[in-house]
Structure 1
Amino acid sequence: MFGQQGGIKLKAVFIGAGSMAEAIIAGGLKSGALQAENTYVTNRSDAIRLNELANQFGIQTGYEVESVLQEADVIVLAMKPKDAAAGLEAIQSSINEHSVVISLLAGVGIDFIEKTIGKPCSIIRAMPNTSAAVGKSATAIALNELVTAEQHQSAIDLFAAIGLAITVDESQMDAVTAVSGSGPAYIYYVAEVMQKAGEELGLDHETAKSLIIQTLLGAADMLSVSDGQAAALRKAITSEGGTTEAAIRTFDEMNVKEAISAGVKEAAVQSKRLGAAYQC
């Protein structure tokens, strides 16, 4: 693991202190993938935020960035994607060639990071989602050719601390962004519509909310124990002439399936558009 290797404690530095960085730090500390005394975090200007994280997790915040980067074993890029070029250029000279750089920057390709760093370096591109905050992220990672088997496994261990972690080819990252990166928002969208409909049918707000949450949790669990066969599960509860059939028929008449498919594909296209700004 990054946190400790052969009895040697390894140093991890987070550049950026947003909610995703916080979720990874929390999960990593809990699992042992990170250790508080060797976990450092910085951001551009928000000292209050850094103090909050230091008080909450006991991690390190008051330090000279250049010196700690030079000794870092892991550097996590967690700034906003729009700050990628400036952020990488600011730390480029302090990155040591033995570090592994893990990028959380949506749309920013490995080639761009390699070119901006300008020296041989192990780079891992990761796409978690906001469910990391509750330890349920779906995270895909992609590697450059310098990532060792040990670094790869350590990255899997780190992201497994906040949910599911899988490895994909970088060419699949736009699809990952569309399916799981943006995916929680699609589920919230459906829940929002279901809640409004339930209230219009006479349920009070809290009753509708509780029923929907439990329904989503139960459906997710059913999918997880049924090899992900969503179509089979749907058909099993869609009896002829029943209420579910009436709803599904209405969805089909209104092209809901096509709309969802088109939306997911458009998210992938938008991911490509955003990434075009970081093409080498």
Structure 2
Amino acid sequence: MKMSEKLAFIGAGSMAESILTGIVNSEFFPKEQIFVTNKSDKDRLAFLKKQYDVQNTEDKQRTVDGADIVVIAVKPYDVEAAVTSIRNYLNANQLLISVVAGVSTDRISQLIGKEVPVVRAMPNTSSAAGQSATAVTRGKFAAEKHLKTALDLFNTIGTATEVAEADMHTVTGISGSGPAYVYYLVEAMESAAVSAGLDHATAHDLITQTIVGAGEMLKTSGLNPSKLRENITSPGGTTQAGIETLAERNFQETVMSCVDSARERSIELGKKL
């Protein structure tokens, strides 16, 4: 689906850029109809204009006026100021999409102060490569058509799935923060390879393709991860030796605690705001 309407970004950080990259590459919105603004960083706005040929302005009203979709992409502690700065320019015919971690649709609606449709989404930075796993939930003023618009938008930069708002904290802990966990794993594997004498470039290429291949197997094989792991783990073999070390170091419990910590932090952020 290709749209010709106007898209506005409030916030110009890494998440906004990741989403913007995917949208520009997919041509879901024409670049001349994508507007970006932020709190005060003129250099950042200039960079995005040069890099993606989108429109930038410090004028919040110009950014929001006539926009069919307004994306709030700021840090949680900046959300109140961001929404307050544009709420006078919003109306019920627009859709506001928040990608702010931990902040509920009800809280966003309270900050707006009028019945503007709000959809909350949790994409991840893989959206820049068109591979985001995005969870979407709608607020009390959002209709089915608003949900569909959000799903269509995020499906252009990966996959989009509707979830209950109560599950968004868990989503933040898995798919929202998940790429960072994978990158952390890759860092460790690269360090081990280099320590064993392999040059960094070769290690990076081999590990990257290993991650990509494993992801593709999870997506297409029809097998669950336990079965895929078992298929590689021959008794007494090299993989079993590695898995046993991970088990001895409580790898699964550590990862579960990692996800729980991210989820709890999302809850804390929501309570503070």
| Fold match (TM-score > 0.5) | yes
Match of 2:193 in 1: 198
Aligned length: 273
Contact 2:68-2:95 within 8 A present in 1 as well: yes
The correspondence for 1:103, drawn from 90, 98, 106, is 98
**Closer/same/farther in 2, CA of residues 47 and 204 from structure 1, 3 Å limit:** same
Measured in 1, the distance between the counterparts of 2:184 and 2:62 equals: 45
Shift of 1:114: 0.7
Q: In the TM superposition, what are the counterparts of 1:1-280 in structure 2 within 5 Å?
A: 4=3, 9-62=4-57, 64-227=59-222, 229-278=224-273
Shift of 1:99: 0.8
Measured in 2, the distance between the counterparts of 1:53 and 1:102 equals: 20
Query: Is the deviation greater in 219-228 or in 115-124?
Result: 219-228
Structure 1 SS opposite 2:56: coil
Report the identity percentage. Answer: 43
Measured in 1, the distance between the counterparts of 2:62 and 2:133 equals: 33
Contact 1:70-1:96 within 8 A present in 2 as well: no
Contact 1:129-1:138 within 8 A present in 2 as well: yes
Measured in 1, the distance between the counterparts of 2:250 and 2:52 equals: 48
Measured in 2, the distance between the counterparts of 1:62 and 1:192 equals: 38
> Deviations for 1:233-279, whole angstroms, at most 9, x for unmatched residues?
0001111111111111122122111111122112111111111112x
TM-score w.r.t. structure 1 length? 0.91
| Gap runs ≥5 in structure 1 | none
Contact 1:33-1:157 within 8 A present in 2 as well: no
Aligned CA RMSD, in angstroms, stands at: 1.8
Measured in 2, the distance between the counterparts of 1:61 and 1:200 equals: 46
> Deviations for 1:44-87, whole angstroms, at most 9, x for unmatched residues?
22222222222333322247422552422211111222111111
Shift of 1:25: 2.4
Shift of 1:220: 0.9
Q: What letter matches 1:234 in structure 2?
A: R
| Gap runs ≥5 in structure 2 | none
Structure 1 runs of 4+ with >4 Å offset: none
Q: What letter matches 1:181 in structure 2?
A: G
**Closer/same/farther in 2, CA of residues 275 and 213 from structure 1, 3 Å limit:** same
Structure 1 SS opposite 2:55: coil
